[in-house]
């Protein structure tokens, strides 16, 4: 397929959540990310690549030749969302997950994003979850979209290995087994380095500006805290950490207890 103006328009519309959802397709760019998603068996819609890329990655490109469209760098520039377009641009199909009680069968640890706004933060959390062996993330419906190009870019392929569900707050907590820890990070709380984490945990990550919402807070049964180190040289200090950094540090502590 050639890159017709109509198709360019369709691809550009995928920057907007509404159109991604309509077409059930997301964008991935850059050789490392695209190869990672192909190797993780994500369902391919189309791949636009330069002849050089196809030749260089012969072992992989030969197996997926039916999806590949040869384009030149100028054409990739027209559809790329990156400041430095790469030699490969791909469209993958959405994955469909239905939230039900089955996700608790394996007593898995779950990351719960309570209105995470920044797509980069969500992507970075998906990547950290993957690193720390957690394969399930639940997001409130007003959280960033896991298929936003910035989220996909920041997740570095981990979107293929971590299931991201979107649901209403009460629908999720309504089916959560009672034995679960529901953990929220606050300025005051039990020190994460001493907290007796267990596998059956839901870790809440609050919104970047507003923190944890009232609708989620009522389900929290353990308030935890990341201790700040006071510096003797400074009169004031940072009030908080970046949401994906704070979430990742807690996942790191939690993962020590999962071994």
For binding to a second copy (CB under 8 A), which residues are involved?
A: 39-40, 106, 120, 124, 127-128, 130-135, 154, 156-158, 161, 193, 226-231, 233-234, 236-242, 244-245, 248-249, 252, 255-256, 258-259
Contact between 190 and 225 (Cβ < 8 Å) = yes
Strand 88-93 relative to strand 110-113, pairing: unpaired
CB of 201 to a second copy, least distance (A): 13
Q: Which is nearer to a second copy, 5 or 231 (CB)?
A: 231
Q: Which is nearer to a second copy, 32 or 218 (CB)?
A: 32
DSSP notation for 56-107? HTHHHHGGGGGGEEE--HHHHHHH--SSS--SEEEEEEPP----SGGGGTTT
Distance CA 177, CA 172 (A): 10
Q: Which is nearer to a second copy, 176 or 226 (CB)?
A: 226
CB of 37 to a second copy, least distance (A): 11
Contact between 201 and 181 (Cβ < 8 Å) = yes
Q: Which is nearer to a second copy, 6 or 230 (CB)?
A: 230
CA nearest to 253, candidates 203, 178, 179, 189:
203
Q: Which is nearer to a second copy, 22 or 210 (CB)?
A: 210
DSSP, collapsed to helix, strand or coil, labels residue 39 as helix
CB of 243 to a second copy, least distance (A): 10
CB of 19 to a second copy, least distance (A): 18
CB of 91 to a second copy, least distance (A): 21
């Amino acid at each position: 397929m050639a890159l017709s103006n109509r198709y360019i328009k369709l691809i550009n519309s995928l920057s907007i959540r509404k159109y991604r959802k309509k077409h059930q397709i997301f964008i991935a760019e850059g050789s490392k990310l695209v190869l990672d998603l192909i190797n993780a068996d994500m369902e391919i819609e189309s791949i636009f690549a330069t002849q050089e890329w196809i030749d260089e990655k012969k072992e992989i490109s030969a197996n997926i030749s039916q999806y590949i469209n040869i384009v030149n760098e100028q054409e990739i520039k027209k559809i790329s969302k990156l400041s430095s377009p790469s030699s490969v641009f791909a469209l993958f199909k959405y994955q469909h997950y239905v939230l039900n009680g089955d996700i608790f069968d394996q007593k898995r640890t779950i990351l719960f994003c309570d209105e995470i706004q920044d797509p980069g933060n969500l992507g970075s959390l998906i990547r950290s979850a993957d690193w720390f062996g957690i394969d399930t993330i639940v997001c409130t419906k007003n959280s960033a979209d896991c298929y936003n190009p910035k989220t996909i870019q920041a997740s570095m392929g981990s979107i293929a290995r971590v299931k991201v569900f979107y649901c209403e707050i009460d629908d999720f907590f309504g089916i959560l087994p009672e034995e679960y820890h529901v953990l929220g990070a606050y300025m005051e709380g039990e020190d994460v380095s001493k907290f007796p984490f267990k596998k059956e945990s839901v870790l809440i990550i609050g919104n970047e500006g507003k923190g944890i919402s009232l609708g989620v807070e009522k389900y929290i049964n353990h308030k935890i805290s990341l201790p700040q180190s006071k510096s003797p040289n400074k009169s004031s200090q940072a009030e908080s950490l970046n949401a994906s950094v704070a979430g990742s540090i807690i996942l790191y502590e939690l993962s020590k207890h999962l071994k």
